[in-house]
Amino acid sequence: MKIKRIEHVGVVVRDIEKSRRLWEDCFGIPLGGVEESKVRPQRLALFPIGESMIELLAGTTPDSKFAQMCAEGKDGINHICFEVENIDEALAELKAKGIPLIDQVPRIGHAGCRIAFLDPAGTENCLIELAELPKGTDH
Protein backbone atom coordinates (compact mmCIF):
# COMPACT_ATOMS: atom_id res chain seq x y z
CA MET A 1 0.00 0.00 0.00
CA LYS A 2 1.32 3.42 -0.88
CA ILE A 3 0.10 6.36 1.17
CA LYS A 4 0.64 9.48 -0.92
CA ARG A 5 -0.23 12.18 1.64
CA ILE A 6 -2.69 13.24 4.30
CA GLU A 7 -5.65 14.13 2.08
CA HIS A 8 -7.61 15.82 4.84
CA VAL A 9 -8.41 16.00 8.52
CA GLY A 10 -12.15 15.79 9.19
CA VAL A 11 -13.64 18.10 11.84
CA VAL A 12 -17.28 17.84 12.97
CA VAL A 13 -18.89 21.26 13.50
CA ARG A 14 -22.36 22.50 14.40
CA ASP A 15 -22.62 25.07 11.62
CA ILE A 16 -20.33 25.35 8.60
CA GLU A 17 -21.12 29.02 7.99
CA LYS A 18 -20.22 29.99 11.57
CA SER A 19 -17.11 27.80 11.51
CA ARG A 20 -15.91 29.45 8.30
CA ARG A 21 -15.10 32.57 10.33
CA LEU A 22 -12.47 30.69 12.31
CA TRP A 23 -10.78 29.13 9.28
CA GLU A 24 -11.03 32.14 6.96
CA ASP A 25 -10.84 35.16 9.27
CA CYS A 26 -8.59 33.87 12.06
CA PHE A 27 -6.31 31.51 10.16
CA GLY A 28 -6.56 33.13 6.72
CA ILE A 29 -7.37 29.86 4.94
CA PRO A 30 -9.72 30.50 2.00
CA LEU A 31 -12.67 28.20 1.47
CA GLY A 32 -12.04 25.73 -1.36
CA GLY A 33 -15.64 24.59 -1.74
CA VAL A 34 -18.80 23.32 -0.08
CA GLU A 35 -20.57 20.08 -0.96
CA GLU A 36 -24.00 18.85 0.06
CA SER A 37 -24.39 15.07 0.19
CA LYS A 38 -27.06 13.59 -2.05
CA VAL A 39 -27.32 10.42 0.07
CA ARG A 40 -26.78 11.65 3.66
CA PRO A 41 -28.11 14.69 5.55
CA GLN A 42 -24.74 16.45 5.71
CA ARG A 43 -22.65 19.27 4.24
CA LEU A 44 -18.91 19.55 4.07
CA ALA A 45 -16.58 22.47 3.50
CA LEU A 46 -13.01 22.04 2.30
CA PHE A 47 -10.16 24.36 3.25
CA PRO A 48 -6.99 23.57 1.25
CA ILE A 49 -3.68 23.94 3.09
CA GLY A 50 -0.69 23.04 0.94
CA GLU A 51 -1.16 19.47 -0.27
CA SER A 52 -3.85 18.68 2.33
CA MET A 53 -7.20 20.03 3.49
CA ILE A 54 -9.33 20.61 6.55
CA GLU A 55 -12.78 19.11 5.96
CA LEU A 56 -15.59 20.56 8.08
CA LEU A 57 -18.57 18.22 8.47
CA ALA A 58 -22.02 19.34 9.62
CA GLY A 59 -25.42 17.70 9.77
CA THR A 60 -28.29 19.27 7.85
CA THR A 61 -31.08 17.81 9.99
CA PRO A 62 -31.33 17.53 13.80
CA ASP A 63 -31.35 13.72 13.60
CA SER A 64 -28.31 13.47 11.29
CA LYS A 65 -25.15 11.74 12.48
CA PHE A 66 -23.03 14.91 12.76
CA ALA A 67 -25.78 16.97 14.42
CA GLN A 68 -26.22 14.21 17.00
CA MET A 69 -22.47 14.07 17.58
CA CYS A 70 -22.47 17.82 18.29
CA ALA A 71 -25.44 17.48 20.64
CA GLU A 72 -23.49 14.79 22.55
CA GLY A 73 -20.38 16.99 22.77
CA LYS A 74 -18.49 14.87 20.24
CA ASP A 75 -17.73 17.65 17.79
CA GLY A 76 -14.11 18.45 16.90
CA ILE A 77 -11.49 16.34 15.17
CA ASN A 78 -13.17 13.24 13.79
CA HIS A 79 -10.80 11.46 11.41
CA ILE A 80 -7.62 11.49 9.35
CA CYS A 81 -7.83 10.68 5.65
CA PHE A 82 -4.89 9.23 3.73
CA GLU A 83 -4.76 9.39 -0.04
CA VAL A 84 -3.74 6.01 -1.44
CA GLU A 85 -2.81 4.99 -4.97
CA ASN A 86 -5.14 2.00 -5.11
CA ILE A 87 -7.84 1.71 -2.49
CA ASP A 88 -8.82 -1.86 -3.40
CA GLU A 89 -5.24 -3.07 -2.89
CA ALA A 90 -4.91 -1.03 0.31
CA LEU A 91 -8.08 -2.54 1.82
CA ALA A 92 -7.01 -6.07 0.87
CA GLU A 93 -3.57 -5.52 2.41
CA LEU A 94 -4.93 -4.06 5.63
CA LYS A 95 -7.52 -6.82 5.96
CA ALA A 96 -4.77 -9.43 5.47
CA LYS A 97 -2.81 -7.71 8.26
CA GLY A 98 -5.80 -8.06 10.59
CA ILE A 99 -7.05 -4.46 10.51
CA PRO A 100 -10.85 -4.48 10.80
CA LEU A 101 -12.68 -2.47 8.15
CA ILE A 102 -15.87 -0.45 8.49
CA ASP A 103 -16.22 -0.37 4.70
CA GLN A 104 -15.41 -3.72 3.11
CA VAL A 105 -15.62 -2.14 -0.33
CA PRO A 106 -15.02 1.48 -1.32
CA ARG A 107 -17.88 3.92 -1.74
CA ILE A 108 -18.07 7.36 -3.33
CA GLY A 109 -17.11 10.31 -1.11
CA HIS A 110 -16.39 14.01 -1.64
CA ALA A 111 -15.42 15.16 -5.13
CA GLY A 112 -16.00 11.66 -6.53
CA CYS A 113 -13.23 10.06 -4.46
CA ARG A 114 -13.48 6.34 -3.72
CA ILE A 115 -13.33 6.13 0.09
CA ALA A 116 -13.38 3.56 2.88
CA PHE A 117 -13.08 3.79 6.65
CA LEU A 118 -11.05 1.55 8.93
CA ASP A 119 -12.49 0.39 12.26
CA PRO A 120 -10.93 2.42 15.10
CA ALA A 121 -10.79 -0.80 17.16
CA GLY A 122 -7.81 -1.82 15.00
CA THR A 123 -6.12 1.59 14.68
CA GLU A 124 -5.53 2.63 18.30
CA ASN A 125 -8.99 4.23 18.47
CA CYS A 126 -8.24 6.58 15.56
CA LEU A 127 -10.84 6.77 12.79
CA ILE A 128 -8.91 6.54 9.52
CA GLU A 129 -10.34 7.08 6.07
CA LEU A 130 -8.62 6.01 2.86
CA ALA A 131 -9.31 7.90 -0.36
CA GLU A 132 -8.43 7.23 -3.97
CA LEU A 133 -8.88 10.35 -6.03
CA PRO A 134 -10.53 10.14 -9.45
CA LYS A 135 -7.94 9.74 -12.19
CA GLY A 136 -6.54 13.04 -13.42
CA THR A 137 -7.42 15.13 -10.33
CA ASP A 138 -5.29 16.66 -7.59
CA HIS A 139 -7.98 17.27 -4.92
Q: Tens digits of per-residue pLDDT, 49-59?
A: 999 999 999 99
Contact partners, residue 113, CB within 8 Å, separation at least 6: 7, 131, 132, 133, 134
Q: How is the chain classified by DSSP, letter by letter?
A: --EEEEEEEEEE-S-HHHHHIIIIIIT-----EEEE-SSSSEEEEEEEETTEEEEEEEESSTTSHHHHHHHTT--EEEEEEEEES-HHHHHHHHHHTT--BS-SS-EE-GGG-EEEEE-GGGTTT--EEEEEPPTT---
Q: Which pLDDT belongs to residue 137?
A: 74
Mean pLDDT, to the nearest integer, of 36-53? 94
Mean pLDDT, to the nearest integer, of 13-36? 95
| Per-residue pLDDT band at 61 (split at 50, 70, 90) | very high
Mean pLDDT, to the nearest integer, of 121-139? 90
CA dist 86 to 1, 73, 75, 80, 94, Å?
Answer: 8, 35, 30, 17, 12
Q: Is residue 136 predicted with pLDDT exceeding 80?
A: no
Q: Which pLDDT belongs to residue 39?
A: 87
Q: Which pLDDT belongs to residue 127?
A: 98
Which domains are assigned to the chain? 3-132 (3.10.180.10)
pTM of the model: 0.92
Residues 103-119 pLDDT 10s: 999 999 988 999 999 99
**Within 10 Å of residue 117's Cβ, how many Cβ atoms?**
17
Q: Tell me phi and psi for residue 70, to 5 degrees.
A: -65, -45
